Amino acid sequence: MTELKGKSVFSGIAIGKIAILKKDNQSVKRIHVEDTAGEIARIGAAKETAVEQLKALYEKAVKEVGESGAMIFDVHQMMLDDQDYLDSITNMIETQNINAEYAVAVTGDNFAKMFAEMDDDYMKARAADVKDISERLIRVLQGSNGEGLEADEATIVVAEDLAPSETVQMDKSKVLAFVTRFGSSNSHTAILARTMNIPALISVDYNDEIDGKMAIVDGFEGKMIVDPEEDVLEAYKNKHQEEVEKRRLLQELKGKENVTKSGKKINIYANIGKVSDVANVLQNDAGGIGLFRSEFLYLEKDTFPTEEEQYQAYKQVAETMAGKKVIIRTLDIGADKQADYFGLDHEENPAMGYRAIRICLNQPDIFKTQLRALFRASIFGTISIMYPMIISVKEVRRIKEIVEEVKKELTEEGIPFADVEQGIMIETPAAVMISDLLAKEVDFFSIGTNDLTQYTLAIDRQNAKLDNIYDSHHEAVLRMIKMVVDNAHKEGIWAGICGELGADTTLTEEFVKMGLDELSVTPTFVLPVRKIVREME
């Protein structure tokens, strides 16, 4: 038994035989040609054929993995039309009197290298795409169409790297898992693997001897166990079976509405902490993002993230969610979320201390940087902004003044931004009690039941000793939720829950009855909550 470590890009368990994917080595010879115009014409014709192939792949992918997963083949078509790429090929043919295949191979290598050296992870991952389109062109020029991916039985596909077109061309029923030595979690292959619901690992250092051997891919732990011992295999078979059953039941709910039998609807969104969590949101069919805890962008760094870094992150999330609502919460640092570079003093009661919106209002430079990034990103999708730890109308009015200053600056700089919905978190008893007044000031409420429970019951949510009495089902908390919803509706705004209680399926029915408009939960809870909603009267 050998255990190979890797990095998981999609969870799940797969058990089966390994098939190492050996690609036909595209040997491309350099040949001297006199008729350069003829070679250039061959490129034109090959490009047409390649585009036809990509269109067919796009159609296949739309059916198998949906519109967003298929997008890559649209991108490939655009790449084939890229003037710099084509100019490089024709220029080489003309100036060096070389054959079309060779010019494509060299151009493909050059462009791939150029992408690979870029700083941006997304652009880096485009190296695989440019290689992919170049290999396709060469195959067409050489008159070959096979990509050597046929297999009789379902296998764990192991490869050096996988091009998106290879991934999607595989017969899904024949692939148990993807395992590669190279590739990145940003690559489209990884994205497709996630959309295809197949466990996938990258960065696995394997040797050819594992070909044909029995193995387990553990996408939860990020490892592949080759030649597993009997008891290990048995344990994984059970785990796998449980997974299959769970997924089967929930998958049936994908694409279905969150509607009760009597027709009452509720939005079910997902909570995220980092950009890469968006894959999980889509995977679980959430209607939007109800809470993006933006402070994680600050926590994973040892200095303040710049406006540009934040802008890129928010833009990527908004774009990937393709118009679905993305509610981004402004910085909620302090208390249990500490970053040294903020230089926050030690406090006796940090949960009730200098944190969240209090820092932002006291240090508007930090706040403005984030607001600028958010408004700049707002044109790439449907972004809403949400402010944490609110206790007064005065705070909200001050926030609005700062927002106006930011918008004015952007307008003066000629930077476009969209109309952004702005709401607040209701997570202090004070906010609950004045929710009638706050509702006149904002576009929505999102109830943070984690903090609301701690402040209402006077129980530190971090104190493990008090876990048994930290009761989010406490009548006081439930009454507060009802009060907030009613006050929101009186002013014609919507109210949701983004604290953990939103995912508590024993309360789903009560929440729907209370009139909550939205529940934002950990991505894996979207379908379980949908299930309860659909089962209720």
**Annotated active-site residue in 32, 473, 474, 498:** 498
From the list ligand PEP, Mg ion, none, partner contacted by residue 499 (C-beta under 5 to 8 A by kind): ligand PEP
Contacts of Mg ion in 408-437 (CB under 5 A): 427
Structure token digits, residue 443: 């576009």
The residue with tokens 């790449």 is: 79
Amino acid at 11: S
* Beta strands, E only, 227-330: 267-272, 289-293, 325-329
**Annotated active-site residue in 188, 240, 360, 473:** 188
From the list ligand PEP, Mg ion, none, partner contacted by residue 449 (C-beta under 5 to 8 A by kind): ligand PEP
Note if 498 is an active site residue: yes
Shortest reach from residue 78's CB to ligand PEP, in Å: 40
Give the residue with the Cβ less far from Mg ion, 271 or 378.
271
Work out which of 293, 315, 355, 376 binds ligand PEP, going by CB under 6 A.
Answer: 293
Beta bridge partners of 2: 226
Note if 76 is an active site residue: no
- Give me the torsion for CA of 212, 218, 219, 224, rounded to 10°: -50
Does residue number 449 form part of the binding site for ligand PEP (CB under 6 A)?
A: yes
Shortest reach from residue 385's CB to ligand PEP, in Å: 15
Give the residue with the Cβ less far from ligand PEP, 219 or 523.
523
The residue with tokens 């449907």 is: 382
Q: Are 206 and 177 in contact (CB under 8 A)?
A: no
Radius of gyration of the chain (CA): 27
Does residue number 277 form part of the binding site for ligand PEP (CB under 6 A)?
A: no
Contacts of ligand PEP in 217-246 (CB under 6 A): none
Q: Are 224 and 215 in contact (CB under 8 A)?
A: yes
Per-residue contact flags (x/-) with Mg ion for residues 432 to 451, judged by CB under 5 A:
----------------x--x
Per-residue contact flags (x/-) with Mg ion for residues 444 to 483, judged by CB under 5 A:
----x--x--------------------------------
Rounded Cα distance between 209 and 464, Å, is 49
Rounded Cα distance between 438 and 423, Å, is 10
From the list ligand PEP, Mg ion, none, partner contacted by residue 498 (C-beta under 5 to 8 A by kind): ligand PEP
* Residue 203 Rama label (left phi>0; alpha psi -120 to 50; beta): left
Give the residue with the Cβ less far from ligand PEP, 336 or 405.
336
From the list Mg ion, ligand PEP, none, partner contacted by residue 203 (C-beta under 5 to 8 A by kind): none
Q: Report the SS3 class of residue 398.
A: helix
Which DSSP state fits 346?
Answer: P
Which DSSP state fits 88?
Answer: H
Q: Are 378 and 345 in contact (CB under 8 A)?
A: no
Per-residue contact flags (x/-) with ligand PEP for residues 417 to 446, judged by CB under 6 A:
----------x-------------------
Give the residue with the Cβ less far from ligand PEP, 42 or 293.
293
Amino acid at 165: S
From the list Mg ion, ligand PEP, none, partner contacted by residue 277 (C-beta under 5 to 8 A by kind): none
Shortest reach from residue 477's CB to ligand PEP, in Å: 11
Give the residue with the Cβ less far from ligand PEP, 111 or 298.
298
Work out which of 49, 267, 450, 524 binds ligand PEP, going by CB under 6 A.
Answer: 450
Applying CB under 6 A, what is the total number of residues that bind ligand PEP? 10
Work out which of 135, 285, 332, 504 binds ligand PEP, going by CB under 6 A.
Answer: 332
Residue-wise DSSP of 459-506? --TT-GGGGGG--TT-HHHHHHHHHHHHHHHHTT-EEEE-SGGGG-TT
Rounded Cα distance between 226 and 177, Å, is 14
The residue with tokens 């109308």 is: 393
Rounded Cα distance between 290 and 326, Å, is 6
Give the residue with the Cβ less far from ligand PEP, 409 or 500.
500
The residue nearest Mg ion at its CB is 451
Does residue number 285 form part of the binding site for Mg ion (CB under 5 A)?
A: no
Give the residue with the Cβ less far from ligand PEP, 367 or 380.
367
295 contact partners, CB below 8 Å, separation of at least 6:
329, 331, 332, 333, 337
Shortest reach from residue 515's CB to ligand PEP, in Å: 19
75 contact partners, CB below 8 Å, separation of at least 6:
129
From the list Mg ion, ligand PEP, none, partner contacted by residue 282 (C-beta under 5 to 8 A by kind): none
Give the residue with the Cβ less far from Mg ion, 293 or 325.
293
Shortest reach from residue 291's CB to ligand PEP, in Å: 6
Shortest reach from residue 489's CB to Mg ion, in Å: 23
Work out which of 218, 421, 451, 504 binds ligand PEP, going by CB under 6 A.
Answer: 451
Over the range 476-505, which residues count as b (16 or more CB within 10 Å of their CB) and which as e? ebbebbbbbbebbeeeebbbbbbbbbbbbe
Rounded Cα distance between 458 and 470, Å, is 9
Contacts of ligand PEP in 478-537 (CB under 6 A): 498-499
208 contact partners, CB below 8 Å, separation of at least 6:
20
Q: Are 487 and 436 in contact (CB under 8 A)?
A: yes
Amino acid at 377: A
From the list Mg ion, ligand PEP, none, partner contacted by residue 293 (C-beta under 5 to 8 A by kind): ligand PEP
Structure token digits, residue 426: 């209701």
Q: Residue numbers of the site for ligand PEP (CB under 6 A)?
A: 291, 293, 332, 427, 448-451, 498-499
The catalytic site residues sit at 188, 498
Q: Residue numbers of the site for Mg ion (CB under 5 A)?
A: 427, 448, 451
